[in-house]
Amino acid sequence: MPVAAQQTDLSRRNFLITSAAAFTSLHTLVSFGQNGKEKVDPAAPRGRQRNLLVRSCTAEKLAKSLIPSTSYRPFPTVTDRKSWESISPATRVSLVTAGEKYLGFKWPEMPAAVFLEYARNGNRTDYERLRGARMAALQALAFAECIEAKGRFVDDVVNGIWATCEESFWGVPAHLYIQKADLGLPDPRDPIVDLFAAQTSALLATVVYLLGTSLDEVSPLIRDRVYIECERRIFDPLLKQNFMWMGLPGGKARHDLPWIEVPEGEVQPVNNWDAWICWNWLTTVLFVDQDEDRRGKSVQKIFVCLDKFINSYPDDGGCEEGPGYWNVAAGAMFDALELLHSATNGAVDIYGEPLITEMALYMNRVHVGGNYYLNPGDASPIIHLDVDKIFRFGTRLKNPDLLSLAISSMPADYLPSALPAIFAEANLRRQPHAKPRLLRDTWLPDSHVMAARCKAESTDGLYLACIAADNGKSHSHNDTGNFWVYSNGRPVLIDLGQETYQKKSFGAHRYEIPSTQSPFHNLPTIAGVDQGVGPQFRATDLAYSADDRHAELRMELRNSYPNSAKIKTWTRTVGLERARNAITIEDVYILTGATNDVTLNLMTACTITKGAGQLRLANSDGSSCAVITFDPAVLSANMETIYLDNEELVQNWGSAVYRIRFKSLRSETSGSLKLLITGT
């Protein structure tokens, strides 16, 4: 079957008193139970209550070190002509050319009927495209004016600012479930802050910061308008309320993690929303908030919220949302930490904490080669790195692995497109050529991810990776025990990964989407039963080993399936033999009752030729990539063509992929199913 696209305000005085009292109750550190063990924070059930930011900078220290808004200049403004004129000629031309495309720009209307499409039919794309076009135009015009500084782009910038300020809601329709009225149209009496409301405010704040008084030449009301809108949409709501993404009590229940039943008002688990919003919230606060008392309180609350995000990470730094979200998870945290560092003259500095380095290095550890990365959950197999962010993170940490990854990933036509990147480009281009580290072995003991290749620093031969975690992660698929195989740097056995999002993607019907289900991963279907949804469905009894000859991960998958699967034990072992360039997959099982319905599913984008006890897999160009050998007395092999029409899946895999279904020929309560994969 096809994997298809499914389709009443407080006064200022009372506000500050209320928010200060609420903040006092939030400013807590690690708590311990009667047995002396650290309590689990419901905001970060997989991590630890480290609270690195709150510990590193007290309220008193912050008050002394926070640079006033009138003095804070982390980036050159339009009046700093020397800095803008020092940018490389190619980048200057590129930024001006990009801005010229929007001279006389007709700002797209954002009709209520388009906004309502998400509530009516699940379409989130039409409105988001309109919003994205506006955002892109405003940024391009502002950067072009900063380069040229002749006033040629100012009127169009003002048009963009004014149009944005006139929007009823800065976020997107899919996130309106946060408001009291739920999905539909935005309620102006209930200003909620989602990812994109924060992103919009950060862009407006950046434009006002960069162009400053040049906007006043058109009208002094322009900057005032931005301030007023940020105050009512961002500053006041974020101090007055605790939203569900903050990891603090009082938020609405989450809709995007359908297996979690945390009552409304109680602490919800955090994900990348926390870091992404904190970064943009902080940008807005530091760049445009003129109320220094509120500015300080906002930074303090950001400490608490961002700590919740950092707390959610295991010690190995693994990103549970996968590498596709790293840029707006650990990467967003980094940009927030950079702002905090610069706004306090270095008084806020947690870069020496080992966890921060582990979070940064995650992308190195899941790098297959070239633009290919492991893609558990909602992640794409092909990732075009934000080389600037990786480079600046590596520079701050003085980490050569991060630096080499950034330098080697820089495309020939690289041009910076974000403010920090514009002023880091010269340093990036001065770096000598580097090759990325291709680690021979990776083991993330807390995230339960392993990867191994035949030899270090090379994509030659086979590459094996496996995830043995649970099915309750943020952006999770039912993929416990799933594995990947690459040959000479190209995909052989795959995870379909992220689809273009639809209404079903975040809600009770998420796991009706085939690509989220275990039978569309490299996993068994047992007694006709597939894996369950939620953190209780997990791999256990993990045993990992690696040396010069081999790498292996063994796991128990019994608890990954509902009881109806009749599993007493199901032990999966995946292993790479380096010298032989071979991978073994073995499932040894005991069931509580006999069944003739045991199937091993394998997903591939390769073409398949069937032989006696063998399947030969070939790349799209016809070149052979691997052979799968099996015992035809134990297993029969059948192939299904799965046609793709979801935009992102087609972009990554083409119009079709294939599912190989190895069906057990025996009806027994115990057995062993084994596949040998050899490279060619």
Burial of 353 (0-12, 13-18, 19+ CB in 10 A): middle
Q: How far apart are the C-alpha atoms of 456 and 419, rounded to whole Å?
A: 36
Residue 377 lies in a domain: no
Q: What DSSP element (H or E) covers 619?
A: none
The confidence score (pLDDT) of residue 260 equals 75
Q: Is 36 left (phi over 0), alpha (psi -120 to 50) or beta?
A: left
Provide the domain count of the chain. Answer: 1
CA-closest candidate to residue 451, choices 575, 616, 537: 575
What residues contact 19, with CB distance under 8 A and at least 6 apart?
239, 240, 297
- The secondary structure of 270-298 as a DSSP string is P-HHHHHHHHHHHHHHHHH---HHHHHHH
Place of tokens 């739920």: 182
Instruction: Give me the phi and psi of 537, to 5 degrees please.
Output: -90, 100
Burial of 119 (0-12, 13-18, 19+ CB in 10 A): middle
Q: How far apart are the C-alpha atoms of 403 and 401, rounded to whole Å?
A: 5
Residue 357 lies in a domain: no
CB-CB contact of 526 with 601 (8 Å): no
Domain holding 497, by residue range, is 441-679
Residue 198 vs residues 171, 235, 279, 634: alpha-carbon distances, Å: 8, 10, 9, 56
Q: What DSSP element (H or E) covers 668?
A: strand 668-679
The token pair at 254 is 């989450």
Q: How far apart are the C-alpha atoms of 257 and 268, rounded to whole Å?
A: 10
CATH code (residue 670): 2.70.98.70
Provide the H-helix boundaries in 398-464: 400-409, 419-430
Look up residue 235 and give its DSSP letter.
I
The confidence score (pLDDT) of residue 652 equals 95
What residues contact 665, with CB distance under 8 A and at least 6 apart?
633, 634, 635, 636
Residue 4 lies in a domain: no
Q: What DSSP element (H or E) covers 170?
A: none
The confidence score (pLDDT) of residue 601 equals 98
Residue 412 lies in a domain: no
Residue 660 lies in a domain: yes
Residue 225 lies in a domain: no
Residue 577 lies in a domain: yes
Q: How far apart are the C-alpha atoms of 606 and 23, rounded to whole Å?
A: 55
Residue segments in the chain with a per-residue pLDDT below the cut of 70: 1-38
The confidence score (pLDDT) of residue 39 equals 72
pTM listed for this prediction: 0.92
The confidence score (pLDDT) of residue 35 equals 53
Residue 474 lies in a domain: yes
- The secondary structure of 80-130 as a DSSP string is -HHHHHTS-HHHHHHHHHHHHTTTT--PPP--HHHHTHHHHH---HHHHHH
Buried b (16+ CB within 10 A) or exposed e, 655-667: eebbbbbbebeee
The confidence score (pLDDT) of residue 3 equals 33
The confidence score (pLDDT) of residue 262 equals 85
Look up residue 231 and give its DSSP letter.
I
For 513, the 3-state DSSP assignment is coil
